Structure formats: structure tokens, C-alpha cells
Amino acid sequence: MNIYGYARVSSTDQNEDRQLIALHQAGIEDKHIFIDKQSGKDFNRPQYRKLLRKLKAGDLLYIKSIDRLGRNYEEIQVQWRILTKDKRVDICVIDMPLLDTRRGKDLVGTFLSDIVLQVLSFVAENERNNIRQRQAEGIAAARAKGIHLGRPPRPLPANFYITHQMWKKGEITGTAAAKACGMPLSTFRYRAVIYENSRLL
């Protein structure tokens, strides 16, 4: 039997130290710990797929909490069945002792584990949806205040203003104006709208 650990953070700038400490305390060697740094919306993650190929019947997998496995309710249920039923691997969720498939393999124990798994999976997905909603609300609030999000626009070329005037007078085409300013036509039109609106303020 081999003992493995799986850790996940949602982005490269997040820290997985707390998960690693918990996995090390469970006695798992670094070479048996798999870490993904991406969203938990699905299970198409390189290290998780690699772990899945490694796991054999009788192995034990530790994760710190169910949301580290994923944040999609239905897919957590599917992956749990793949791990425990198809691959016959035991799973221990460190933060939730009831989710330890080594214990309570009778009907009552399995029933309780299934209930806890469904509740925690629902909570994990619900939290993901709440995070996305808070992000969307934050972006909308920032835009309402006139805060620009993302990279700042590149400064306009020195010939933009005179080229814009020639284009507005019909002396040159939009394509020719965009080429003279060294930008795609769609960008030229977008910057022209911003420039025209700024003159109205």
C-alpha cells in the first residue's frame, strides 16, 4: 500500500503551505504529494490526472479538505466514486474525520459518509459561486466609479489627432487611418470613440 497526498490552490500566487503541513503530519513523503495550482471548477488538472494514474487498489489518499479536491458538486461525487469504487482507494479528508473510508465500511458508516460528502460538496460549489458573484460585483462597482481594470491603454501615437481629423472629414479611409497610426482598424475605431467622448466632457 502506498500513501499519497493531494493539494490544490486556485492560482499560482496562492500558498499551499497549510495543506503541505497537514499532509506531512500525516506522514506523507514529498515524492507522494501532488499539487495543482488552478481552479477547482473541474478535474482536468495535470497533477490530479497524474495522481489518478498512480493510485492502485488498497492505496490511501489524504486531502486536507473536500474543497481542495474540487468545487463542482457533481464532479466531486463522480471522482469520489471513481476513487473509492472503481480504483478501490481509501480516502481520508483530514479536516473531516467522518470522511475516512477506512472506517465504517458497514452500511451505516457508508450511509453517513455519503451524506457528509454530499453536504460538503454542495458547500464547496456554493462557495465557488459566491466567490464568482463577489468578483463580478467588485468589478461592476469599480467600473461604476470609473476605475480602469486591466492593463492601462497604450499612449496614442503623435499623429493620431491629425489622422483622426482627416478620417472624420472623409479625406482617408478608416483602414488607412489605422495603418498610419500603427494599430488594427478595430483598435483605431475604439480609441477614436474614447477620444471623441473625452472632448465632449
H helices present in 90-159, as ranges? 107-144
**Cα separation, 70 vs 78, whole angstroms:** 11
**Cα separation, 146 vs 149, whole angstroms:** 9
Q: Answer for the pair 33, 66: CB distance below 8 angstroms, yes or no.
A: no
Amino acid symbol at 45: R
Q: Answer for the pair 29, 4: CB distance below 8 angstroms, yes or no.
A: no
Nearest to 36 by CA among 53, 51, 21, 54: 51
- Helix (H) / strand (E) element for 20: namely helix 17-25
* Active-site residue, 39 included: no
Rg (CA), the chain: 27
Q: Mind telling me the catalytic residues? A: 10
